[in-house]
Chains A and B, each alone.
Chain A
Amino acid sequence: MKYIFILFLCAISAFSQSTINGKVSDESTETLSGASILLKSTTGQIITYTITDKDGGYTLEVESGSYTLEANYLGYQKQSLTILLKDKEKRVQNFTLKLRSEELKEVVIKYEQPVVLRGDTLVFDAKALSTGSEVVVEDLLKNIPGIVIEKDGTIKYNDRPIEKVMVDGDDLFNKGYSLLTRNMPNKPLDKVEVLQNYSNNKLLKGIEDSNAVALNLTIDEAYKNLWFGNIEIGYGERNRYLATGNLMHFAEKYKTFLTTSFNNAGYDKTGNVDAMVSNSVDLESIGHGYRASKIMGMGIGSSRLGEDRTRFNNAEVATLSTIFPLSDNAKLKLIGFLGFDEQDAFHNSYSVTDFQGTFFENSEINNSRDKLSRSYVNALFNYDVSATQMVQSSTTFNAGKSDYKNDYTFNGTSTRETLETKNTYFDQKATYTHKWNDRNIVLLKTRFFTDKLPQNYGINDYLLGDLFASDTVDAVGNDVKSNKEYAGLQADFRLKQKNDDLISFAVGYDYNNDDLTTRFSLFAGNNTTNPADFQSDISYSVGDLYARSGYTFKFKQFSLGGTVNIHQLFNRFQNSEGDTKTQNPFIVNPTLNASWRLNPDNIFSAMYSYNVTNSDLLQVNDSYLLTSSRSFSRGLGYFNQWESSNASLDFTTKHYLNRYQFSAGLSYSRQNDVVTYRSQLDQNTSLSDAFIIRGGDRIGVRFSSHYVIRKLKGTVKLEGDAGRAIYYNQYNNSGLRKNTSYHQSFTLGWGSNFKSAFNFNIATEWDFSQVKSDNTFRNTSKFSYLDLKYVISENFNVQLKTEHYNFGGVDSYNNYFFADLEALYSFEKQKYSIGLDGRNLFDTNVFTTYSVSDIGYSTNSYRLLPRYVLMTFKYRF
């Protein structure tokens, strides 16, 4: 009975809905759409609301009761009235609103800012980012959208590799930051800052257009004495071992990083070190690329294979770097490096020289050991004079030595060669930066360095044939002293214009002085002969007063830019007899580039440059220099400059969703006159004399494309390039020879993009080259690889890399297969990991390549590191 009553009540209430509708209009009877209608309770709470439609009408459904009904529209006076709705009543209520007479005034609302934005710096809290499962910094950074971390530890933000990872504003690693992100625990992190539009020179910020990004980690006050690092130990068959240790200490004021590595497994652990040690990133300077000339070069040539297959080594390396503040405005960074290595190599070659009137064959066997040692010390000093001025100074001292011993067999004759090379290098750079207003900055750079590269060569036999008329020579020696001194000064202005364009120009003076003394000796018992024309005692100095500037015009989708380099040179050459020649050429080198952005997916670009190059020491030198076991080369004896021009055209198109991308380019370069070498070749020796002849030209075309095939979940890439070059030279008694060389290469590859644990990558490259001169020599080679990757779990993955090489030519069935297997298992959140590294599983012992030139062909065989399996253990603390 009770229930029926309740049901009855409910039924009644369901039917007691009332409706109010109506129209809202203004006094001119225009309806007002978008007016707000509010139904409030008698205490002022909003029960329901609606907005009038395009005809100004509204409908409200509500329970019966007593309410206030309001209509309101901006600019009009609000109207409200009390209404009493009975059950199921359908009320019609129209409104006619009157205009408001007062003007509506502007309103400003003030709030406190919860997030402080400092220019391009984004600051966020490390604790907030953490989900609790991270252990090292790299784990924490992975949580950020926009950040992608590659297998080797490279961090990319929005597809752009970041410049560096700093800790409290200090950088110890440059591009070697993965040592930090993979080993530093994330717990002590307080904030992670993303510095966009980052400039290494902080005063350049805002003036230089930079898209670079850097990260800065700040450490929580509580953790002001951090020690962390890792150790890796590996051991394998044939006594191969690997031991690496990294130790980092971050204290309140000091930051120190120590890394050591020992291995005889062919690993080159100095890669990361070079990145750390080069401080051209921290300090903009001048005099790049100038080094003392290295006259004698030995050792195996480069081959198609990676060096890690041919490097028989025994290396020890240690680097220590530390940063500490000297005062509030000054900071000092010290880096020391010490390295030793013993590199063995085994290399055979067979060459055929065949051109008009000349034919001979040579076979050479090289069995060498090179003992290397190197030490390096650098001090980088930074002083903030004021908020707009900064002084930086870098002092470097580098000493190295290479002791090269080679058992050299030439056409059956066994000999022993030694080449000792030493290097001492001292470098002092200083740069003063002054930002005199928001948009203008000048950098004053100075630099001084000395580079000494003495070499001492000896061989215990005489292989030089008829070059020197003597039957009794039993040894040959060459003593080289090559020194360079450089001093330079530059003022580099960067002025940012009102329209955001950057005008930059620089003026400066470079002074290079090279001294070269060589003593070439023939030993016959106790007698020593020093043949004339084979000794050197020269001095070459070049003073370069230069200016350079550039500007780019941007107009809609076009941009046109150019740079020009002007040089007034003061060349001075003093030869072995003490005669001095001078020359003061004036050089202008312009470059033009243009681009047309048809739309975001199609871009054309073009470039033209004209270049005049000044002769270098070896081209000016007037006597024969021994450059390797049996080759000599002599320069012009006088100065020369030669001109070349280059032009290129490029086109890129891509699908707007990146389904495919295609780019093609055409390039042409022409040399007006060139310095080339006229060589006297016979069985035993090669004597080259520089001379000037007409230059040749080179034309090339290239294309590259990739296409994503969604159905197959993979990407196909197809690339190719082809070119033809014409150049001239002269050998023995030939006249001027015209040589035409063609090359074509194509690559076809397919990479899978499965979302599963398994992925693969396969590619093949064909290379074809042909050189046509008196004879025609051709060469075809193929290179293919197949990589398989299986990620069994987050902590366990396996990779198999296989390669195949094939060289056409003499023995066209030369096929080489290589396979490397890598497996890594880590546990306890990668605190410990065990790895298995199997190299050269097919145990390929020898690798022979084939190459052609315009006078013949040669095969080169290299002994390879035999198969070994290395077991590694890694521990992080």
Chain B
Amino acid sequence: MRLFLYFFALLCYPVFGQSQKVASAQVEYRFFSNSDFPTSYYTTLYIDKDISLFHEKPNENATRSDVNTNDGLVYESLSTSTKTHFLEPYLKVNRNKQEILFFESIGANRFLIQDDYQNLDWTITNESKTIEGFSCTKATVSFRGREWTAWFTTEVPLPFGPWKLYGLPGLILEAYDATNRYTYRAVKIEFKKNAIFEEDFNTLIKTKNKNPISYRQFLIDTQEYRDNIHAEAVKNNPDLQDVPVPNNGMETKYEWEE
């Protein structure tokens, strides 16, 4: 009898082997940045079990629908510009290893950076709404100087979301900060595992450093680079006026600044 059970288990193993696929998804978010230069582009979140990869694509013109310009301006785009101006970075969140890795650039050089993994302290509210048939609940968190709101659905129980927003008991379909400056909206969800997980994350983008540098050090280097550029510009033109730039980015305060 036991032999029969073992044999049955062996037969069933390939079936259970397919459970590799079940915790996989590919979610496309539309990102809106209503900053001083409004911009909008697509981003994709690839999920496989405990790892998520967030890919930003700022170069593709996010005008996949017809654009009506009837205000007399003549700058209509008759062709999409696919020239690569900006870095199209990846961000990896590994829940089990408690590790966050991503790519950023200084000037023309790209870097692999390691950020501190934080367990975001979400507050789940009583508010709910429906998005395309998914029942969503509202949660909020304070992260690096901004108050973020996320609508997540437990019907897709993946603890991931766009950018560095993760840890809710369901996929985040919509996320925005309190000032409505940055918004992510999921526009497409597919349940499959992307081949990108076969590749070594650290080599997805050619970087100047082989080993990841800490995010804190990277921010110090970025500030030094800006200071040096300004110093060079002043050398050539002593009348140059420096306009102080307020930090209005996605992260305005860091936990080590307390």
Q: How far is the CA of A114 from the CA of B33 in the complex (A)?
A: 10
Q: How far is the CA of A117 from the CA of B76 in the complex (A)?
A: 10
Q: How far is the CA of A595 from the CA of B155 in the complex (A)?
A: 55
Contact between B185 and A111, CB atoms less than 8 A apart: yes
What chain A residues lie within 8 Å of B106 (beta carbons)?
Answer: 656-657
A657-B225 in contact given A107-B132, A117-B40, A753-B234 (Cβ < 8 Å): yes
Query: Is A626 in contact with chain B by the CB < 8 A criterion?
Result: no
A-B contact sample (5 more), CB < 8 A, given A54-B50, A659-B224, A759-B234 = A34-B50, A38-B154, A46-B124, A148-B241, A197-B81
B81 touches which one: A206, A710, A717 (CB < 8 A)? A206
Q: Using an 8 Å CB-CB cutoff, how does the interface string of A40-66 with B read, 1 for contact, 0 for none?
A: 000001101111011000000000000
A661-B238 in contact given A109-B188, A146-B37 (Cβ < 8 Å): no
Contact between B231 and A714, CB atoms less than 8 A apart: yes
Query: Is A121 in contact with chain B by the CB < 8 A criterion?
Result: yes
Q: How far is the CA of A356 from the CA of B130 in the complex (A)?
A: 100
B187 touches which one: A109, A122, A714, A715 (CB < 8 A)? A109
Contact between B22 and A74, CB atoms less than 8 A apart: yes
What chain A residues lie within 8 Å of B75 (beta carbons)?
Answer: 118-121, 195, 202, 205
Interface residues of A in 689-735 (CB under 8 A from B): 706, 708, 710, 714-715, 717
A26, A105, A116 interface centre (most CB from chain B within 10 Å): A116
Q: How far is the CA of A789 from the CA of B221 in the complex (A)?
A: 29
Query: Is A271 in contact with chain B by the CB < 8 A criterion?
Result: no
A108-B38 in contact given A148-B240, A150-B239 (Cβ < 8 Å): no
Which of B65-73, B140-148, B195-203, B250-258 makes up part of the contact surface? B65-73
Q: How many residues on B have C-beta within 8 angstroms of the other chain's C-beta atoms?
A: 90
Contact between A115 and B240, CB atoms less than 8 A apart: no
Contact between A34 and B95, CB atoms less than 8 A apart: yes
Contact between A147 and B243, CB atoms less than 8 A apart: yes
Q: Using an 8 Å CB-CB cutoff, how does the interface string of B39-69 with A read, 1 for contact, 0 for none?
A: 1100000000110000000000111010101
Contact between A717 and B235, CB atoms less than 8 A apart: yes
Interface residues of A in 147-167 (CB under 8 A from B): 147-152, 159
Contact between A115 and B34, CB atoms less than 8 A apart: yes
Query: Is A76 in contact with chain B by the CB < 8 A criterion?
Result: yes
What chain A residues lie within 8 Å of B242 (beta carbons)?
Answer: 148
Q: How far is the CA of A76 from the CA of B34 in the complex (A)?
A: 39
Which of A137-145, A678-686, A836-844 makes up part of the contact surface? A137-145
Contact between A114 and B188, CB atoms less than 8 A apart: no
Contact between A117 and B61, CB atoms less than 8 A apart: yes
Contact between B37 and A106, CB atoms less than 8 A apart: no
A30-B131 in contact given A146-B37, A150-B239, A751-B231 (Cβ < 8 Å): no
Nearest B-chain residue to A142, judged by Cβ: B243
A715-B232 in contact given A51-B169, A121-B73, A656-B107 (Cβ < 8 Å): yes
A50, A51, A73 interface centre (most CB from chain B within 10 Å): A51
Nearest A-chain residue to B185, judged by Cβ: A111
Query: Is B158 in contact with chain A by the CB < 8 A criterion?
Result: yes
B170 touches which one: A36, A106, A147 (CB < 8 A)? A36
Q: How far is the CB of B225 from chain A (nearest CB, A)?
A: 4
What chain B residues lie within 8 Å of A147 (beta carbons)?
Answer: 243
Contact between B231 and A104, CB atoms less than 8 A apart: no
Query: Is A169 in contact with chain B by the CB < 8 A criterion?
Result: yes
Interface residues of B in 99-131 (CB under 8 A from A): 106-109, 124, 126, 131
Nearest A-chain residue to B111, judged by Cβ: A656
What chain A residues lie within 8 Å of B77 (beta carbons)?
Answer: 118-120, 205-206
Q: How far is the CA of A85 from the CA of B100 in the complex (A)?
A: 37
What chain A residues lie within 8 Å of B167 (beta carbons)?
Answer: 51
A706 touches which one: B79, B95, B235 (CB < 8 A)? B235
Q: How far is the CB of A385 from chain B (nearest CB, A)?
A: 13
What chain A residues lie within 8 Å of B188 (beta carbons)?
Answer: 106-109
B36 touches which one: A53, A72, A118, A144 (CB < 8 A)? A144
Q: How far is the CA of A193 from the CA of B36 in the complex (A)?
A: 11
What chain A residues lie within 8 Å of B61 (beta carbons)?
Answer: 117, 119
A149 touches which one: B12, B74, B79, B241 (CB < 8 A)? B241
What chain A residues lie within 8 Å of B24 (beta carbons)?
Answer: 74
Query: Is B91 in contact with chain A by the CB < 8 A criterion?
Result: no
Interface residues of A in 55-110 (CB under 8 A from B): 70, 72-76, 78, 99-100, 103-110
Q: How far is the CB of A651 from chain B (nearest CB, A)?
A: 16
A753 touches which one: B83, B157, B168, B231 (CB < 8 A)? B231
Interface residues of A in 749-789 (CB under 8 A from B): 749, 751, 753, 759, 761, 787, 789
B25 touches which one: A28, A74, A209, A439 (CB < 8 A)? A74
Contact between B241 and A119, CB atoms less than 8 A apart: no
Query: Is B175 in contact with chain A by the CB < 8 A criterion?
Result: no
Contact between A600 and B107, CB atoms less than 8 A apart: yes
The DSSP consensus for interface residues of chain A is loop
Q: How far is the CA of A143 from the CA of B35 in the complex (A)?
A: 12
B107 touches which one: A123, A658, A787 (CB < 8 A)? A658
Nearest B-chain residue to A500, judged by Cβ: B83
Q: How far is the CB of B14 from chain A (nearest CB, A)?
A: 11
Q: How far is the CA of A789 from the CA of B239 in the complex (A)?
A: 9
Contact between B23 and A169, CB atoms less than 8 A apart: no
B156 touches which one: A28, A70, A74 (CB < 8 A)? A74
Q: How far is the CB of B50 from chain A (nearest CB, A)?
A: 5
A35 touches which one: B37, B157, B168, B189 (CB < 8 A)? B157
Could you list some 26 contacts between A and B, CB below 8 A?
A26-B16, A30-B16, A34-B50, A36-B157, A36-B169, A106-B191, A109-B132, A110-B132, A113-B40, A113-B65, A120-B75, A145-B248, A148-B242, A150-B237, A150-B239, A150-B241, A151-B239, A202-B75, A206-B78, A206-B81, A384-B74, A599-B109, A600-B108, A708-B232, A715-B235, A753-B227
Query: Is B150 in contact with chain A by the CB < 8 A criterion?
Result: no
Nearest A-chain residue to B73, judged by Cβ: A169
Interface residues of A in 648-671 (CB under 8 A from B): 656-659, 661
Q: How far is the CB of B30 from chain A (nearest CB, A)?
A: 7
Contact between B185 and A109, CB atoms less than 8 A apart: yes
Query: Is B204 in contact with chain A by the CB < 8 A criterion?
Result: no
B23 touches which one: A34, A53, A108 (CB < 8 A)? A34
Q: How far is the CA of A815 from the CA of B146 in the complex (A)?
A: 62
What chain B residues lie within 8 Å of A759 (beta carbons)?
Answer: 234, 238
Nearest A-chain residue to B249, judged by Cβ: A145
Q: How far is the CB of A605 from chain B (nearest CB, A)?
A: 15
Interface residues of A in 356-387 (CB under 8 A from B): 384, 387
Contact between A33 and B49, CB atoms less than 8 A apart: yes
- List the 6 closest pairs (A to B, CB-CB), nearest first: A75-B22, A119-B77, A36-B169, A600-B108, A151-B239, A104-B191
Query: Is A124 in contact with chain B by the CB < 8 A criterion?
Result: yes
Q: How far is the CB of A161 from chain B (nearest CB, A)?
A: 11
Query: Is A308 in contact with chain B by the CB < 8 A criterion?
Result: no
Contact between A28 and B241, CB atoms less than 8 A apart: no
Q: How far is the CB of A806 from chain B (nearest CB, A)?
A: 22
Q: Using an 8 Å CB-CB cutoff, how does the interface string of B159-181 with A read, 1 for contact, 0 for none?
A: 10000000111100100000000
What chain A residues lie within 8 Å of B67 (beta carbons)?
Answer: 116-118
Q: How far is the CA of A72 from the CA of B157 in the complex (A)?
A: 6
Q: How far is the CA of A117 from the CA of B58 in the complex (A)?
A: 13
A438-B79 in contact given A75-B23, A708-B231 (Cβ < 8 Å): yes
Q: How far is the CA of A121 from the CA of B38 in the complex (A)?
A: 10
What chain A residues lie within 8 Å of B185 (beta carbons)?
Answer: 109, 111
Contact between A49 and B191, CB atoms less than 8 A apart: no
Q: Using an 8 Å CB-CB cutoff, how does the interface string of A1-39 with B read, 1 for contact, 0 for none?
A: 000000000000000000000000011101011111110
Contact between B69 and A118, CB atoms less than 8 A apart: yes
Q: How far is the CB of B162 from chain A (nearest CB, A)?
A: 14
What chain A residues lie within 8 Å of B38 (beta carbons)?
Answer: 115, 117, 122-124
Query: Is B216 in contact with chain A by the CB < 8 A criterion?
Result: no
Q: How far is the CA of A599 from the CA of B208 in the complex (A)?
A: 9
B79, B187, B229, B235 interface centre (most CB from chain A within 10 Å): B235
